[in-house]
């Protein structure tokens, strides 16, 4: 390092950028200067040559030097002052690390997994704001958590778990065995080798989307549908096609006119307490749909996330109970009936399907949480679980009835709805056009978080997915009243 006429240390340049490198010139200059400062070669107070000199020595345009110095200055590492030149002012690691930060924005745009819709991103964030009333959330209230049952189970587990090593590729055998027993009650005959334990049903959908379908394939599904609120199939290059539904379920006959011949396709359906409408597919429609799909070689993914959450009467048996030839991949989860935080779901299919998906699962996360699998095995084997389900249904019935009463009181002239026989949701169809985005934000100002129907639909709608499962009982009447005022204020 040499001194200038005023006695300041002037740095020595001993490098030129590599013109053949893929890294832009200005980035190379930033890296060079950062390294010199962080290594202590250039100390605080040292002076850099003028921009013109730097440009000449590096063999680059002056604008390249200006860009590099500008970025270093924005990190607080150097400072340019008229009359003093450019001086090194800091060498702290935190500042220097930021100079090496790549332009992540650019990378993030390039990935294949599509971003969530902005409304969903907002909902995911707002759910954890203090004081927010969650009027659309699809999980059970923490007040319904069976803490005593869970305490006993976890105490038992802490005494019985001998290791938390990885488990077998398809998941804990004892858990798959108990699931076979429980599935038998629903009319589904299967062996443990037909079951893959997943990290929630979402992972099952993810595995299917990456393992089983070509890009450009079609997924037919109810319109509206929960699956429309995700990007899982679209990110894998598949087309989601909404098929109208009525009170008996999906109008499968409309698939004929939509489906191109030779097209690879499958049907994703939530026949029981459908999300978001809570419609239960009738027994007759189930039979017809199964025949249609068999005749038309259209494999089915049956999502039975809400099957155990019946309130008034047990629903018809799953479609999978009719399946003798492996036409259907059946998805179950413990998320809705008990604990989404366990992140455990199960996929039931033919051995070839289960093995293939299990192999990819092993490459993805080497198995779902061992603690959760042991815990769920204990839960499902416990005599308390069925009793818990009964109590949970009674609590949900109470909440559903309260919300229906609130709607009767405040929404009779504003909307129409069906009374759900199970599940979590009331699909509230507003009678008049309301600007949904405005409604979302106006309700938020009142402390109410909504799930607008647009998240789930293929075409414009005027609906809200209300949920009675999460909200405090004591908040139901007041929130529905408040919501009715907001809706009235926005009617066009
Ligand atoms: C129909 C349906 N399937 C799957 C899921 C996702 O469940 P999991 O927590 O098991 O991933 C949900 C959650 O809302 C759902 O409503």
Element (H, E) at 466: strand 463-467
Q: d(Cα 435, Cα 462) in Å, to the nearest integer?
A: 8
Distances (CA, A) of 41 to 91, 250, 439, 462: 11, 71, 60, 65
Helix (H, G, I), strand (E, B) or coil at 475: helix
Q: d(Cα 287, Cα 344) in Å, to the nearest integer?
A: 29
Is residue 232 a contact partner of residue 206, using CB atoms and an 8 Å limit? yes
* Cα 461–Cα 465–Cα 471 angle in degrees, nearest 5: 160
Q: d(Cα 475, Cα 487) in Å, to the nearest integer?
A: 18
Sign of the torsion angle spanned by Cα atoms 336, 340, 344, 350: positive
Ligand 1 pocket: which of 275, 307, 343 to mutate (most atoms <8 Å of CB)? 275
Cα 299 to averaged position of ligand 1 atoms, centre (Å): 20
The residue whose two tokens read 């499962």 is: 469
- Supply φ then ψ for residue 489, to 5 degrees: -70, -20
Is residue 14 a contact partner of residue 57, using CB atoms and an 8 Å limit? no
Which tokens go with 10?
């002037």
Q: d(Cα 101, Cα 77) in Å, to the nearest integer?
A: 14
Residues pairing with 303 in the sheet = 331
Question: Between helices 473-490 and 384-410, what is the axis angle to 10°?
Answer: 30
Cα 229 to averaged position of ligand 1 atoms, centre (Å): 11
Pairing of strands 345-348, 328-333: antiparallel
Q: Report the Cα–Cα distance between both ends of the chain, in Å, rounded.
A: 73
Nearest residue (by CA) to ligand 1, atom 4, is 201
Q: d(Cα 54, Cα 51) in Å, to the nearest integer?
A: 5
Cα 91 to averaged position of ligand 1 atoms, centre (Å): 49
Distances (CA, A) of 372 to 46, 171, 179, 197, 349: 58, 11, 14, 11, 22
- Around Cβ 103, how many Cβ atoms within 10 Å? 8
Pairing of strands 265-269, 249-250: unpaired
Cα 227 to averaged position of ligand 1 atoms, centre (Å): 9
What confidence score (pLDDT) does residue 125 get?
87
Helix (H, G, I), strand (E, B) or coil at 256: helix
Which tokens go with 4?
């200038």
Is residue 1 a contact partner of residue 48, using CB atoms and an 8 Å limit? no
CA-wise closest residue to 338 among 281, 395, 279 = 395
Ligand 1 cavity residues, CB under 6 Å? 138, 200-202, 226, 270, 275, 303, 305, 333, 335, 340, 345
Q: d(Cα 421, Cα 303) in Å, to the nearest integer?
A: 18
Which tokens go with 430?
């507003």
Which tokens go with 343?
């992140």
Sign of the torsion angle spanned by Cα atoms 474, 479, 480, 482: positive
**Of ligand 1's atoms, which has the minimum distance to the CA of residue 344?**
10
- Supply φ then ψ for residue 64, to 5 degrees: -65, -45
Distances (CA, A) of 478 to 272, 311, 402, 452, 475: 30, 24, 11, 19, 6
Neighbouring residues of 289: CB distance < 8 A, sequence distance ≥ 6: 249, 250, 252, 269, 271, 281, 319
Ligand 1 pocket: which of 333, 425, 451 to mutate (most atoms <8 Å of CB)? 333
Which tokens go with 385?
């679980």
What confidence score (pLDDT) does residue 118 get?
83
What confidence score (pLDDT) does residue 85 get?
83
Nearest residue (by CA) to ligand 1, atom 14, is 138
Which segments of the chain have a pLDDT < 50? 4-5
**Of ligand 1's atoms, which has the minimum distance to the CA of residue 335?**
9
**Of ligand 1's atoms, which has the minimum distance to the CA of residue 139?**
14
Give burial (CB, 10 Å; 0-12/13-18/19+) of 144. Answer: middle
Residues pairing with 48 in the sheet = 86
Neighbouring residues of 340: CB distance < 8 A, sequence distance ≥ 6: 139, 200, 334
Prior bond of 321 cis (ω within 30°): no
Q: d(Cα 375, Cα 335) in Å, to the nearest integer?
A: 13
């Amino acid at each position: 390092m040499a001194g200038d006429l005023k006695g300041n240390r002037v740095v020595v340049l001993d490098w030129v950028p590599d013109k053949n490198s893929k890294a832009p010139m200005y980035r190379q200059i930033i890296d060079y200067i950062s390294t010199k400062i962080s290594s202590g070669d250039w100390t605080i107070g040292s002076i850099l040559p003028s921009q013109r000199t730097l440009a000449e020595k590096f063999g680059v345009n002056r604008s390249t030097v200006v860009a590099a110095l500008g970025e270093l200055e924005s990190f607080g590492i150097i400072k340019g002052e008229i009359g003093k030149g450019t001086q090194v002012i800091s060498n702290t690691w935190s500042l220097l690390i930021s100079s090496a930060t790549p332009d992540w924005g650019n990378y993030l745009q390039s990935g294949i997994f599509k971003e969530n819709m902005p409304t969903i991103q907002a909902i995911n964030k707002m759910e954890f704001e203090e004081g927010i009333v969650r009027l659309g959330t699809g999980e059970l209230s923490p007040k319904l958590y069976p803490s005593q049952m869970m305490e006993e189970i976890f105490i038992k587990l802490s005494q019985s778990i001998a290791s938390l090593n990885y488990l077998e590729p398809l998941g804990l055998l004892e858990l798959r065995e108990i699931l076979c027993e429980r599935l038998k009650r629903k009319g589904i005959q299967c062996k443990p080798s037909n079951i893959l334990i997943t990290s929630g049903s979402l992972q099952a959908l993810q595995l299917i989307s990456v393992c089983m379908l070509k890009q450009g394939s079609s997924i037919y599904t109810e319109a509206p549908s929960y699956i429309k609120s995700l990007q899982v199939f679209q990110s894998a290059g598949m087309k989601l096609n909404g098929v109208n539904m009525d009170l008996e379920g999906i109008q499968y006959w409309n698939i004929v006119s939509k489906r191109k011949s030779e097209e690879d396709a499958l049907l994703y359906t939530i026949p029981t307490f459908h999300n978001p409408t809570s419609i239960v597919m009738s027994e007759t429609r189930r039979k017809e749909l199964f025949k249609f799909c068999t005749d038309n070689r259209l494999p089915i993914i049956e999502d039975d996330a809400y099957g155990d959450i019946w309130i008034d009467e047990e629903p018809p048996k799953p479609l999978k109970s009719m399946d003798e030839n492996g036409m259907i991949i059946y998805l179950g989860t413990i998320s809705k009936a008990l604990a989404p935080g366990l992140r455990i779901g199960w996929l039931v299919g033919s051995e070839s399907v289960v093995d293939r998906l299990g192999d990819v699962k092993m490459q993805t996360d080497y198995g779902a949480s061992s603690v959760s699998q042991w815990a769920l095995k204990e839960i499902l084997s416990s005599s308390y679980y069925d009793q818990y389900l009964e109590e949970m249904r009674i609590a949900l019935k109470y909440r559903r009835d309260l919300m229906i009463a609130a709607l009767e009181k405040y929404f009779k002239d504003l909307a129409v709805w069906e009374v759900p026989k199970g599940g979590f949701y009331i699909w509230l169809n507003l009678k008049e056009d309301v600007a949904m985005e405005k409604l979302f934000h106006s309700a938020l100002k009142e402390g109410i978080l909504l799930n607008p129907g647009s998240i789930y639909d293929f075409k414009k709608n005027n609906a809200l997915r209300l949920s009675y499962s999460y909200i405090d009982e004591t908040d139901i009447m007041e929130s529905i009243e408040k919501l009715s005022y907001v809706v009235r204020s926005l009617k066009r």
